[in-house]
């Protein structure tokens, strides 16, 4: 369950799913301008759109959640517009 008041940022451009904490942290800082240690969830997907990674800070360190998606799952969300780099 995601607590109320937590921002969720969805990257709309695919990332290399082999990326680890450091690379995803840099992407958040570079693309969004946020400190990834904020109380937000940063969601990334790969080129094949068959998996997502969620980067977040749990209060004591950085965490990555990796989830493999069922075929046909739309990872971009309903609020994404053409040309956007991220959605909230």
In whole angstroms, give the CA distance from residue 16 to residue 48. Answer: 10
Q: Structural domain tally of the chain?
A: 1
Phi, psi (deg, nearest 5) at residue 57: -105, 125
Q: Is 13 helix (H, G, I), strand (E, B) or coil?
A: coil
- Could you read off the pLDDT of 6-45 as tens digits, one per residue? 888 888 888 999 998 899 988 888 877 777 677 789 999 9
Within-domain flag for 26: yes
Within-domain flag for 58: yes
Q: β-pairing, 40-45 with 7-11?
A: parallel
Within-domain flag for 75: no
Within-domain flag for 14: yes
Within-domain flag for 29: yes
Within-domain flag for 88: no
Within-domain flag for 76: no
Domain that holds residue 43: 7-70
Within-domain flag for 1: no
- Could you read off the pLDDT of 37-59 as tens digits, one per residue? 777 899 999 888 889 999 988 88
């Amino acid at each position: 369950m995601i607590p109320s008041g937590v921002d969720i940022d969805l990257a709309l451009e695919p990332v290399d799913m082999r990326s680890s904490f450091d690379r995803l942290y840099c992407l958040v800082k570079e693309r969004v301008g946020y400190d990834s240690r904020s109380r937000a969830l940063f969601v990334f997907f790969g080129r094949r759109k068959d998996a997502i990674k969620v980067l977040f800070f749990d209060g004591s360190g950085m965490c990555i959640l990796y989830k493999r998606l069922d075929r046909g799952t739309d990872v971009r969300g309903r609020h994404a517009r053409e040309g956007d780099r991220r959605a909230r």
